[in-house]
Amino acid sequence: MKPAFYVTTPIYYVNDVPHIGHAYTTVAADVLARYKRMMGFDVYFLTGSDEHGQKVEKAATTAGETPLELADRVVKRFQALWERLEISNTDFIRTTQERHKKGVVHIFSDIMEKGDIYLGEYEDWYCTPCETFWTETQLIEDRCPDCNRPVEKLKEESYFFRMSKYQEALLAHIEANPEFIQPKSKRNEIISFVKEGLRDLSVSRTTFTWGIPVPGNEKHVIYVWFDALTNYMSALGYPNQTTEYERFWPANVHLIGKDILRFHAVYWPTFLMAAGLPLPEKVFAHGWWTVEGQKMSKSLQNVVEPNMLIDKYGVDVVRYFLLREVPFGLDGDFSHTALVQRLNSDLANDLGNLLSRSTAMAVKYFDGVLPAPEALTEIDTALKQKTEEMLTTVNGCLDDLAFSKALQAIWEVVSAGNKYIDESAPWVLAKDPAQRGRLATVMYCLLESQRIVHTLVSAFMPGTAAKALQSLGCGGEIDKTGLVWGGLQAGCTITKAEALFPRIES
């Protein structure tokens, strides 16, 4: 049986339309899912929408809609964008679906029965946009420490989760599992946060109604983060012991942005501990995008709309840029100039040009019928070795979620291919009939190296890779057998590749 791999994105709030921040996590998860599938894993890739809570309720009131009408309308925008971005998710969960509500009610009741959710009273500072309570000392100049907006004093009867009880168990888990929270800098932040002491957490609200009612006390709705985090299990069928749940829980990796790490690395694992359930293997927090040096925000009117980027540059350019430009885990800056530069140099000049040059030569010198190679010489073996080493490097990088480094490793082989053409000078060989065999070997090695490159590229830019592999005479299913040198069969048809990426004058 294939090994299982479960990757998730955050579920996105429907009070906002999708922007590049959302696209970023989703594309990263997609690359991982595609790569793992290619490597023979049975992949469950989950994304979805977070539809409850005061934020959504308020946005709906402003829009003159019911919360569900708002959710129905906005969720379509996310789903349409994922389709355009060629996101290969297995499932899409909405927190207003019955299957999800059932899961949330179950885990809430279960923890309550076990004694770790109890009824109490709350008085603290509340930040509505962040849906978070803060103590007096956590405020910064009387404002929310996360978003710097004003907070209000709220007193309410509330259910509490006995999070304090799990402080030591959580610390022990983090210490024992260095891979659990990544990157390392973020792991250290969480360790300090937990060491400062965990307070019991308010897990219900009575000040609004848009949410899942607390079982047995309908005055309360369940806290939106308690509700949302449970999606990772409810999508698999929890609390039922479905085949999916048995097979895929616990998740291998939750991909998230750094702003929501605490919810995933402190709240979620302690909820799971209280319910006696296994914890996810890894939570990885990526950085944030600014735009031309500024924070992306509606008020600055600089929100980068992925659909606009796709219209302008094409889907694969967007996918490539997001993962290549910034090491995953660090903050980065989006600018059209930087994107055009990557497009012209990495994609048009390096990757695209190499393929059109090589396939054009195969057509010119061998009428597009791939010749069989003779014995490899030193430079051929060097190219073969470099190609093979790339596979190990990329595999390691993707295990570490180092997407940008993985792409760099692939592009080293692209450069090696370009250099190989210069060094082997096929146009000189072509003039000498005695060098026919040597020319065949050069063409074979050149195209074979690119076939493997594009097999890997298919995880990042599926459309581009499909076109490339087609022109190399090997379209169709992609799996790891395609990563072995020697896959190109002598006699197959090579067609001249059109420019994969037209250059753009900036």
Which tokens go with 472? 């190399």
Pick the piece of the chain touching ligand MSP (CB under 6 A) from 17-25, 97-105, 154-162, 479-487.
17-25
Residue nearer to ligand MSP on the CB measure, 285 or 439: 285
Q: Which stretch binds ligand MSP (CB under 6 A): 97-105, 124-132, 228-236, 398-406?
A: 228-236
Query: Dihedrals φ, ψ of 479, to 5°?
Result: -145, -175
Annotate each residue in 274-303 with x if it binds ligand MSP (CB under 6 A) or - if it does not, as one string.
--------------xx------x-------
Of residues 42 through 61, those in contact with ligand MSP by CB under 6 A are 50
Where in 110-264 does DSSP place strands (E)? 117-127, 132-134, 152-161, 181-182, 201-202, 204-205, 213-214, 217-222, 253-257
Q: Does 355 contact ligand MSP by CB under 6 A?
A: no
Q: What residues contact residue 208 under an 8 Å CB cut-off, 6+ apart? A: 54, 57, 221
To the nearest whole angstrom, how small is the minimum distance from the Cβ of residue 25 to ligand MSP?
Answer: 5
Does position 387 interact with ligand MSP (CB under 6 A)? The reply is no
* Residues contacting ligand MSP: total by CB under 6 A: 19
10 Å Cβ neighbour count for 326? Answer: 21
**Should residue 222 be labelled a site residue for ligand MSP when binding is judged by CB under 6 A?**
no
- What is the C-alpha to C-alpha distance for residues 316 and 461, in angstroms, rounded to an integer? 5
SS3 193: helix
340 binds ligand MSP (CB under 6 A): no
Q: Which two tokens stand for residue 431?
A: 């003039």
**Stretch touching ligand MSP by CB under 6 A, among 21-29, 142-150, 195-203, 407-415:** 21-29
For residues 456-465, b (16+ Cβ closer than 10 Å) or e, as one string?
bbbbbbbebb
Question: Can residue 229 be called a binding residue for ligand MSP (CB under 6 A)?
Answer: yes
CB of 261 to ligand MSP, least distance (A): 9
Stretch binding ligand MSP (CB under 6 A), from 16-24, 271-279, 308-316, 397-405: 16-24
Nearest approach, Cβ of 203 to ligand MSP (angstroms)?
14
Task: Write out the H or E segment, with its range, that includes residue 411.
Answer: helix 403-424
Buried b / exposed e across 89-106, counting CB within 10 Å, b at 16+? bbebbbbbbeebbbbbbb
Select 228 or 453, whichever has its Cβ closest to ligand MSP.
Answer: 228
Q: Kindly list the residues in this chain that would bind ligand MSP in the complex (CB under 6 A).
A: 10-13, 21-22, 24-25, 50, 228-229, 231, 256-257, 259-260, 288-289, 296
